[in-house]
Amino acid sequence: MKSCQRVSAGCIISREVLLGEKWKGSLGMGFSENMEFEAVDAGEDGDLHESTIYGPVDSWRFGKSLGVDLIVRTSTCSFNCVYCQLGHIQDITTERRLFVTTERVMRDLKASAWRGSDIITFSGSGEPTLALNLGEAVRAIKEYTGITTHVLTNGTLLHLPEVREALCAADRVSVKLDAPDEKTFQRVNRPAAGITLERIIEETTRFRAEFKGHLDSQVMYLLANRSMTEALCEILNRIRPDEVQLNTPKRAYPAEWFIETRGRYDYDRAPAKLTKLRVIEPEEAEEVERIIAERTGLPVSSVYGGENDS
């Protein structure tokens, strides 16, 4: 890497890459002196009735997790996972946009019950790296609250230096890994055209080397991938995250997005038809945890809170 410089607490990226960024324009909030944005498709924040902040919700892993939604208006993602809690994704895309300004996010945060949260998680109505102001929002919220920031991503945009730089502003990043081969990947994650599993693995491995925070691989165990633990271990040994998080779709998912789907909505009052997926049983999860821990030497935590939980 040439002319490296530290650009945030947790990341090193080449100077050429930063100077080559195209998205320029200013939010005028003093959050980023050198970075400027030009909104590709900025909605008017004034017509936005829903808050960009939700929760806090109880997280099996982190305690009280406050959610940040940088998309808000519709479900937007580069994947359309079969188990997605947002339902069928309405806008399957890889185009990065400014959906809602950081100024609006900060107003919502200040009006929310953020105090007492254990962690602040960027997830919401889709893939957070599609939001052009992700890095700026992470830095602003971290500076204001002093609370650990966490971004959940599917890793599809990690080939973009500006996305890796934005993620490096966070304390923790979780990257999805549900499939060990392209066929299963297409079946489970149903990505936007042109996205391959191999590129995600390569770019997650590169991000691992750049990111100084806590990186985990999140694996959703389903019928489609339950016999693939050994193959997943090989990929995990390439990426070498700090931790593996094993999950299974315990909650039913709705047919389509409505604003409450980004948090823990009340099933009885859900306006959409719900579908349940088969989950792995605690004994099976324990066995999978054991195999992953044995083959990779990595700490494994599970939604069932198995013995390898770190």
Residues that bind ligand SF4 (CB under 6 A): 77, 79-81, 84, 86, 89, 126-127, 154, 176
Closer to ligand SF4 at the Cβ: 56 or 126? 126
**What's the one-letter identity of residue 279?**
V
From CA 55, how far away is CA 120, in angstroms rounded? 10
In the complex, the smallest distance separating the C-beta of residue 111 from ligand SF4, rounded to whole angstroms, is 25
Q: Which residue number, 68 or 81, has a Cβ lying nearer to ligand SF4?
A: 81
Nearest to ligand SF4 of 126, 241 (CB atom): 126
In the complex, the smallest distance separating the C-beta of residue 84 from ligand SF4, rounded to whole angstroms, is 3
Q: Where are the beta strands (DSSP E) in the chain?
A: 4-8, 11-14, 53-59, 63-68, 76-77, 91-92, 119-122, 149-153, 172-176, 214-220, 243-247, 253-254, 274-275, 300-302
Nearer to ligand SF4, 179 or 300 (CB): 179
Task: Specify the DSSP element, H or E, that contains 238.
Answer: helix 229-239
Residues 137, 38: Cα–Cα separation, whole Å: 15
Residue with smaller CB distance to ligand SF4, 8 or 149:
149
**116 phi/psi in degrees, rounded to 5:** 95, -5
Q: Of 134, 20, 21, 16, whose CA–CA distance to 68 is shortest?
A: 134
- The residues near 223 (Cβ < 8 Å, ≥ 6 apart) are 277, 278
